[in-house]
Amino acid sequence: MASDRLTLAGRIILVTGASSGIGEALALALAAAGATVVVAARRADRIARLAQRIAEYGGNALAIELDVLDEASIARGIERVRTTYGRLDGLVNNAGMLGRGAAGDADISGWRTSIETNMLGAMLVTHAALPLLKAAATADIVNISSTAPRNPNAGSAPYGAAKAGLNAFTESLRKEVAPQGMRVTLVQPGLVETEFYSHVEGDVRRPWMKELEPLLPSDVGDAVVYVLAQPRRVNINELMIRPTGQLG
């Protein structure tokens, strides 16, 4: 739970990829800090249960079915936020997936899906949400990346490349919107205990991953609350969070 000092009371924050893992933990942490959370993902049943869970804890949440690669779906989601609340104070681009494949024999369609989900998805949602964010008195955008661009592994080029692109997009975006009082932050988690690796065939974890005590999704959620709760004069541009034993 966030401390009393780290309050987000009164803020309306949209989280993509909120149906499980880090996204779910982000939504719970933001709600615990007082924010009204718009939980967005493709799996409508899961986000509906998450919104209900937040309500049972005394928080406020709105579930919106949203596909970050479908521009019409994104537009409907942002319009739902506008008609429901009239504004948006924060966006957390969290939706992502693991992409595997050696450069010489990869399934190119899998590469494309990974790159589009991990990079283009955040760009599309940001593009659609910016008018509503700019209309707020103050607003924040947080992009969830990875340590992969800093320490890329063989066999996962599409994932590392996509996250590197997201990193560059984040910094470019920060320079565009900072003059308007908006803050943009890149959060780069290391190994996190989620269902992330279950989306690819086989156990693709490296030997060092199997011996490491990973971060919990809630650790990333608490980090994002910390970022968003800073005084408006403070923009934490980048935050890298690794398990204590992770060297790369």
Residue 132 domain-assigned (yes or no): yes
Residue 187 domain-assigned (yes or no): yes
State which residues form the domain around 166: 12-241
- Cα 194 versus chain centre, distance: 14
Residue 2 domain-assigned (yes or no): no
Angle made by CA atoms 127, 26, 90, in degrees to the nearest 5: 35
Query: Is the distance from CB of 126 to CB of 93 less than 8 angstroms?
Result: yes
Contacts of 158 (CB under 8 A, 6+ apart): 99, 100, 101, 106, 110, 111, 114, 115
Would you call 85 helix, strand, or coil by DSSP? helix
Q: Please confirm, yes or no, whether 159 is among the known catalytic residues.
A: yes
Residue 5 domain-assigned (yes or no): no
Domain CATH number, residue 169: 3.40.50.720
Residue 99 domain-assigned (yes or no): yes
Residue 171 domain-assigned (yes or no): yes
Residue 3 domain-assigned (yes or no): no
Instruction: Name the domain count of the chain.
Output: 1
Half-sphere exposure in the Cβ direction for 212 (13 Å, CA): 19
Give me the mean pLDDT over the 153-178 stretch: 93
Among 12, 161, 170, 146, which Cα is nearest to 91's?
12
Structure tokens at 23: 């996204």
Can you give the pTM of this predicted structure? 0.91
pLDDT of 111 reads 86
CA distance 241 to 140: 19
pLDDT of 198 reads 47
pLDDT of 167 reads 98
Residue 102's pLDDT band, with cuts at 50, 70 and 90, is confident
Residue 246 domain-assigned (yes or no): no
Q: Which residue has the higher pLDDT, 85 or 97?
A: 85
Q: Which residue has the higher pLDDT, 5 or 61?
A: 61
| Positions of E strands within 36-145 | 36-41, 60-65, 90-93, 140-144
pLDDT of 194 reads 73
